[in-house]
Structure 1
Amino acid sequence: MSHDSPSDETGRLTRRHYVAGAGTLATVGIAGCSDDGNGSGDDGGADDGSADDGSGDDGSGDGSGGDASSELEIIHWWTAGGEEDAYNAMLDGFREENPDVEIVDNPAPGGAGSAIDAVVQNRVIDGNPPSTFQIWPGQALTPYTNEGLLEDIGDSVWDDDMREAYLDDVVDLSSPAGDLVAVPINIHRLNNLFFNVSVVEEADIDPTDIDDPQGLLGALETIDAETDATPLAHQTQSPWSSLQLWENIFLGQQGVDDYQSILDGDVEGLEDEVRSALELLADYLDYVPEDAGSISWDQGNDELINGNAAVIHQGDWAAGQYEGASGFEFGEDWDMVPFPGTDGVYHSVIDSFVFPTNNPSPEATERFLNYAGSVDAQERFNPIKGSIPPRTDVPMDEFGDFLSRQFDDFQNSNSQPPTIAHGTGVAPAIHSALEEVFANFNGNLDVDTAYEGIRDAF
């Protein structure tokens, strides 16, 4: 794996405006932000005066709650397929540079971060945090920053080289309250429609000809009639996949400006549009697996790999699973188009790591965060994870044809709105309420109740 800096000819990410504004949404304290979904991440509490003022000055100068430790406990939700492989590849690189640090791996699986919140929040509030934990930057950080539960790492981790290399608005998302508190390691795209080439050809469907979300419904109907495959490899066990699908239907029908209005809270002004996206989502759910309520996203994705399903709407972590599948080649066996109606949009979600206060291993945690923000870590992690790096100086040699195309799409995109389903675009209390709305919708397909729930959540 090469770690040289790329030349200008290799195509660096431009330092252009990356994320559309996440909205001026009110945030809440830890007590009101438990998240109880289930899927690729899940779970709250409150205490009194255990939090400091967020300055990181607890008398030790390093935010430590005790003696430095060589054990590094990491809580994350990467337990599926290529996600786990990508995480382990990053850890391998860290171990090579830090052989004296023992990693205590503590996964909290559950789709879209649905299980991790309760696990982490309870421990942080109790003054017994892990060394670091996975979290989305942006609005998802605010319950912790509001209570002073994350250290300012602007000097200890974010040196001048790192600040210069990162995309500007990724830096902004890492400092929602002013201080830099997170280290992003990737950028995922959500508005992907992946497909099994053989299955769609059998149905005589060309995904590049599907112009809008309504057209996708017609394609699903045709696939159902012409093949034995499941048209849409979608899971409803956990609400996040349907919430993610709904926001992309809305983006495909109404565009980024109206989507931003939703993030800003104007649901009532867009009632007809919100209802239209819900109605179409309900129609889509006629074409999902019979066991959609008991499978995970990656199990649904396996069916696409095996030729038992035609298409899946998913973040580009799904491609990490394809890359790990034997004999399943990009362009020949699988491909992807932007979700119909979203050409020119790079609907984004980012993962990051943080430095909790009362840290049990401040020295090891600082070393890990420094590594996570490095070229080496992001070059190891992202090609396997199915994401592009937030640093602008990571060579793309190891990223393959699909991610290179995503990289180009990102550079050429007109807008990069943040996501609702993955918490970067809305406050955690709103995110939690919306997951409850879509958990119910998965069961009853009640558009009226879902609309009222979305309105009330904002």
Structure 2
Amino acid sequence: MLLVSSVNVASANDVEVLHWWTSGGEAAAIGVLKDDLSTKGVGWKDMPVAGGGGSDAMTVLRARVTGGNAPTAAQMLGFDIKDWAESTGKLGNLNAVAEKEGWADVVPAALQEFSKHDGNWIAAPVNVHSTNWVWINKSALDAAGGKAPQNWDELVAVLDAMKANGITPLAHGGQAWQDATIFDAVVLGVSSDLYKSAFIDLDEAALGGADMVKAFERMTKLRSYVDDNFSGRDWNLASAMVIEGKAGMQMMGDWAKGEFLKADQKPGEDFVCIRFPGTQGKVTFNSDQFVMFDQGDASDAQVAMAASVMNPTFQSAFNVVKGSVPARTDVPNTDFDDCGKKGMADFAEANSSGGLYGSMAHGHANPASIKNAIYDVVTAHFNGEYDSATAAKELAAAVDAAK
């Protein structure tokens, strides 16, 4: 289906949107899109599916599509978009609006890799998240010496000091995607060559080698700083622990910033944002995108939604609230706070220097079957089922089996 608007968008239909933005900060961000669409006469029918990683949402979506009742649009990530495009043939074609508005000139090539299929635009990217962040309670950092860690040894020293000060050093939620989010940063911190070889090239020697053992050893060390009640905790509740001063830091993607902002926290005053120590100048990314399903009677609403998502003014307003950075290269950083400005600068630097990598943990490095195989090993190790040497061997074997 080619989505072409033939009537004024004021008469467009409502859009039913499946997404997993259910935390406080995320709900505030999606409200920006709802409000923008309402000015164009497009109503919003919300279909939220809780679960920060989006896997539950994809299960619900597949049931809806299989049952012949696809939503108007759905939030998707990375290789999930590719999988849906290749396996279903039910996605709408956004070429008309993309060409009219010049998306190809402003969307980074790394994002277009997922926004297009067979040369056709099938998704509108709403943001770029980066995953290798650490969010630190400023008071807890001051009590631990006041210096943000720049390398692994300094990170361990700060965590030890926080532990000695009687708070949980590392706020974490024991869910597979959260374990993998930390592992993303840990592996990149060991070396970018390891990250690329293991997670993008799927090189067996890298997956099972000495450097990967080192990465697992670092995960073991980080596990020692997590409280006993971490299992099953949602990511935003871990963020709340840092916000409330019950924990020192959280290793999480930049969507966590939305929770800090919603709690009226200010970067530099109440919390500190840094790249995971050892990953400065490098960025692991994922991009939330909206795909449109083939529904002829809603084409005007879909065009309006795609155009709104890609509008530069909206991209700024949405990402200021969400914690992410715009999916367009021509959006100014004027309205962004210090962490947002850093995020935009880091992304631009990594994009130009070759230090930009799709996030394994968030479906931008390899297909879901491989991602899930990695998840299983990482979580098993984090929960003490494997020692680090065994985990590296199991990782190589799991990826090989999933190829």
TM-score (structure 1 length as normaliser) = 0.79
Using the alignment, how far apart are the partners of 2:12 and 2:345 within structure 1? 42
Q: Which has the higher helix share?
A: 2
2:185 matched residue in structure 1 = 248
Task: Check the 8 A contact 2:17/2:46 in 1, yes or no.
Answer: yes
Q: Give the C-alpha shift of residue 151 in structure 1.
A: 2.3
Within the alignment, does 1:91 sit opposite 2:30 as a pair?
no
Q: Deviations over 1:329-356 (max 9, x none)?
A: 2112211221111111122111100012
- The normalised TM-score by structure 2 is 0.89
Q: CA deviation at 1:299?
A: 0.6
Closer, same or farther: CA 157–61 of 1 in aligned 2, 3 Å: closer
**Is 1:298 matched with 2:236?**
yes
Aligned counterparts of 2:367 and 2:386: Cα–Cα separation in 1: 25
The one-letter code sitting in structure 1 at the alignment partner of 2:61 is V
C-alpha contact (below 8 Å) 2:137/2:272 kept by paired residues: yes
Distance 1:228 1:444 in 2: 24
Check 1:113–1:449 CA distance in 2 against 1; reply closer, same or farther (3 A cut).
Answer: farther
Q: Encode CA deviations 1:7-49: one digit per residue, 9 max, x unaligned.
A: xxxxxxxxxxxxxxxxxxxxxxxxxxxxxxxxxxxxxxxxxxx
Give 1:410 shift. Answer: 2.2
In the TM superposition, what is the alpha-carbon distance from 1:265 to its structure 2 partner?
Answer: 1.1
Q: Match of 2:377, SS?
A: helix
Q: Check whether the contact 1:82–1:385 (CA below 8 A) recurs between aligned residues.
A: yes
Does residue 387 of the first structure (1) align with residue 324 of the second (2)? yes
Q: What SS is found at the alignment partner of 2:358?
A: coil
SS in 2 for 1:159: helix
Q: 1:104 aligns with which of 32, 42, 45?
A: 45
Match of 2:8 in 1: none
Query: Counterparts of 2:317 and 2:266 in 1: how far apart (Å)?
Result: 21
Does the CA-based 8 Å contact 1:239-1:442 persist in structure 2?
no
Which runs of 5 or more residues in structure 1 are unaligned? Answer: 1-55, 63-67
Q: Distance in 2 between matches of 1:388 and 1:114?
A: 23
Letter in 1 for 2:238: G
Q: How far 1:176 sits from its partner (Å)?
A: 4.4
Shift of 1:445: 4.4
Aligned partner of residue 287 in structure 1, secondary structure: coil
Q: 2:187, 2:212 within 8 Å by CA — same for their partners in 1? A: yes
Question: 1:260 maps to what in 2?
Answer: 196
Contact 1:142/1:177 (8 A) holds in 2: no
Letter in 2 for 1:185: V
Point out the structure with the larger strand share. 2
Kindly tell me the number of residue pairs found equivalent between the two proteins: 387
Structure 2: where are the runs of 5+ without partners? 6-10
User: How big is the shift at 1:218?
Assistant: 3.5
Q: Mark the CA change 1:269 to 1:337 in structure 2 (over 3 Å): closer, same or farther.
A: closer
How big is each residue's C-alpha offset from its partner over 1:38-86, in whole Å with a ceiling of 9 and x where there is no partner?
xxxxxxxxxxxxxxxxxx37xx999xxxxx9823110001011211100
> What corresponds to 2:278 in structure 1?
341
Determine the C-alpha separation between the residues in 1 that align with 2:275 and 2:263. Answer: 22
Q: Which moved more, 1:166-175 or 1:399-408?
A: 166-175
> For residues 366 and 85 of structure 1, what CA distance do their matches in structure 2 show?
23
Instruction: Provide the residue aligned with 2:214 in structure 1.
Output: 276
**2:18 is equivalent to residue 75 of structure 1:** yes
Trace 1:37-436 onto structure 2 (pairs within 5 A): 56=1, 70-98=13-41, 101-137=42-78, 139-147=79-87, 148-204=89-145, 206-208=147-149, 210-212=150-152, 214-225=153-164, 227-236=165-174, 238-254=175-191, 256-262=192-198, 263-270=200-207, 271-326=209-264, 328-358=265-295, 361-413=298-350, 414=353, 415-436=355-376
Aligned residue number for residue 44 of structure 1: none
1:382 Cα shift?
Answer: 0.4
TM-superposition CA deviations, 1:350-397 (whole Å, max 9, x none): 110001235662321222112111113212210000011011222322
- What is the deviation of 1:181? 0.8
Question: Which whole-Å CA distance do the structure 2 matches of 1:360 and 1:144 have between them?
Answer: 21
* Alpha-carbon shift at residue 452 of structure 1 (Å): 4.1
The residue type paired with residue 157 of structure 2 is: G
Give 3-state SS (helix, strand or coil) of 2:136's partner.
Answer: strand
C-alpha distance in 2 between matches for 1:385 and 1:445 = 36
Task: Output the CA distance in 1 between the equivalents of 2:146 and 2:287.
Answer: 32
Contact 1:152 1:179 in 2 (8 A): yes
